[in-house]
Amino acid sequence: MTDGAGEALALLRQGGKLALSRALSRLEAEEGSARLAALLDLAVSEGSGRALGLTGPPGVGKSTLTNALIRGFRTAGDTVGVLAVDPSSRLTGGALLGDRTRLATDPEDQGIFVRSMAARDRLGGLSDHAIAAIALFRAARDQVIVESVGIGQSEADVAFAVDTLVLCIQPGSGDSLQFMKAGVMELPDIIVVTKADMGAAAARAKSDVEGALSLSRLASQDWTVPVLTVSAAEDKGTAELMQAIARHQAYLTSSGKGASRYLAQQQDWVSDFVLTRYGRAGASLVDVPARLALAGGPFAAMAAIRQDLDARLGLV
């Protein structure tokens, strides 16, 4: 099983867009299989790509910012994967907006891969398939951008799937106050006030955000969340954002918090899978840390728990 997963992962890394597209198609076709779980867990353990999350309300300019970041990463020589998580159609369950249509990428550039994915029933925006897709992206690309569905205050899911979370706030929207009320200010590693070309309104929003941060952040934290103003449409402030992202990635590595965060995230994925699929009654039957340690990876743990609980609860 491991040899087969290793060969599949090697083909994924060497095969460009087509290989990654085929791997993503397996997420539904082979859902719950031991073979797919082995590939995903190998991608988790060996993937070295950095995952960046962009979140914030609709209309804040996440897609425009994503375009600017793609250009910046490609200029630096990094390969890029973008997962644009959209609201779901109630009829088909598919991605409703199709964020790929708003991203201006060169179709001939094998170093860029963009995929839209439906949020399904997750208010926070990340389904189990999205978590698996991020694992594959990490293994196949240097930089991974996850653009969340962005529906107001339900912004937490993406924080548990990326290394660096960027919260986008629009000038004059009152978002900083709303996010402070919702506790969202505890989540981001970087905050961006978009549409900085709005001038005084952007400056006021930056000041409001800094005030909200001073009330919500613990003084003992050793990472100071930068608040930046960016006009992606005019390409102003993008270089400073890229530098802040690089600093945060370096901080995660030097402090060791990147590795510990990733391990904690894997436990969160398994716990969320059990709770979403089986509810609190099912979750009470599972010792997630023990099952994760026994399985050796989060996706193998999910597959084993699914087989076990389906049988115990009479679902097969």
DSSP 46-85: H---EEEEEE--TTS-HHHHHHHHHHHHHHTT--EEEEEE
Give the residue from 213, 240, 257 where a domain finishes. 257
Q: Residues 243, 284: one domain?
A: no
Give residue 266's pLDDT: 94
Residue 229 lies in a domain: yes
Q: Residues 266, 217: one domain?
A: no
Residue 282 lies in a domain: yes
pLDDT over 70 (residue 276):
yes
Q: Residues 126, 150: one domain?
A: yes
Q: Residues 105, 123: one domain?
A: yes
Residue 24 lies in a domain: no
pLDDT over 50 (residue 95):
no
Average pLDDT, the chain: 84
More confident residue, 106 or 2: 106
CB 50 within 8 A of CB 143: yes
pLDDT over 60 (residue 283):
yes
Residue 26 lies in a domain: no
Q: Residues 69, 157: one domain?
A: yes
Q: Residues 113, 169: one domain?
A: yes
For the chain, how many structural domains are there in total? 2
Task: Give the domain range for residue 220.
Answer: 48-257
Q: Residues 141, 156: one domain?
A: yes
Strand 50-55 with 112-118, pairing: unpaired
More confident residue, 10 or 216: 10
Residue 226 lies in a domain: yes
CB 297 within 8 A of CB 41: yes
Summarize pLDDT for 46-91 with one digit per residue, the tens: 999 999 999 888 888 888 899 999 999 999 999 999 998 865 444 4
More confident residue, 114 or 152: 114
Give the residue from 237, 257, 277 where a domain finishes. 257
Q: Residues 108, 171: one domain?
A: yes
Give the residue from 238, 257, 276 where a domain finishes. 257
Residue 53 lies in a domain: yes
More confident residue, 175 or 189: 189
Q: Residues 116, 219: one domain?
A: yes
Put simply, whether the predicted model's pTM sits higher than 0.75 gets the answer: yes
Summarize pLDDT for 29-50 with one digit per residue, the tens: 998 899 999 999 999 999 999 9
Burial of 179 (0-12, 13-18, 19+ CB in 10 A): buried
User: What's the average model confidence in pLDDT over 214-231?
Assistant: 78
Q: Residues 67, 186: one domain?
A: yes
Q: Residues 107, 196: one domain?
A: yes
Summarize pLDDT for 118-176 with one digit per residue, the tens: 765 544 457 788 999 999 999 999 999 999 866 544 456 788 899 999 999 888 766 55
Residue 30 lies in a domain: no
What whole-number distance in Å separates Cα of residue 195 and Cα of residue 234? 9
pLDDT over 50 (residue 96):
no
Give residue 103's pLDDT: 67
Report the CATH number at residue 221. 3.40.50.300
Return all residues near 263 (Cβ < 8 A) that are at least 6 apart: none
Q: Residues 128, 193: one domain?
A: yes
Residue 57 lies in a domain: yes
On the CB side of 180, CA atoms within 13 Å amount to: 14
pLDDT over 70 (residue 216):
no
